[in-house]
């Protein structure tokens, strides 16, 4: 019994460490890595349609000028197209500001 009570703090420490590492791993896996996408009106799709976007790695809002149309969206990759959330689609439809949306004409690469 005495030997078991001496090992109990070590077991508690190992359990806490396991929970901490497991939580960090789950957070790392659940964090979606978003990609920048530029809207290409020449594709003939409205900005709410993921097929109207091209991947734009390294693009930033500095690559957009004006306010006339959707320029960039920051969204996860869904098989070569942006995974547009319902909130992002609503912001595009309403012309509202959104943290993952930049308006203007794309002038980047």
pLDDT in tens, 3-22: 767 777 777 677 666 766 66
Instruction: List the structure tokens of 100.
Output: 């993952």
What phi, psi does 13 have (nearest 5°)? -65, -45
CB atoms within 10 A of CB 72: 24
Residues 48, 88 within the same domain: yes
Instruction: List the structure tokens of 75.
Output: 């969204």
Domain region containing 95: 34-106
Residues 19, 67 within the same domain: no
pTM over 0.85: no
Residues 27, 38 within the same domain: no
Among candidates 5, 1, 96, which has minimal Cα distance to 47?
A: 96
% pLDDT > 90, the chain: 58
Contact, 75 vs 82, CB < 8 A?
yes
Residues 26, 59 within the same domain: no
Residues 53, 3 within the same domain: no
């Amino acid at each position: 019994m005495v030997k078991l009570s001496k090992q109990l703090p070590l077991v508690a420490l190992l359990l806490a460490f396991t929970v901490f590492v497991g939580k960090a791993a789950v957070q790392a896996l659940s964090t979606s890595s978003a990609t920048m996408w530029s809207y290409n009106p020449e594709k003939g799709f409205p900005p709410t349609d993921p097929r109207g976007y091209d991947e734009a790695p390294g693009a930033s809002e500095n690559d957009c000028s004006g306010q006339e149309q959707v320029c960039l969206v920051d969204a996860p990759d869904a098989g070569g197209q942006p995974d547009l959330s319902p909130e992002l689609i609503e912001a595009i439809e309403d012309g509202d500001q959104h943290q993952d949306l930049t308006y203007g004409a794309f002038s980047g690469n």
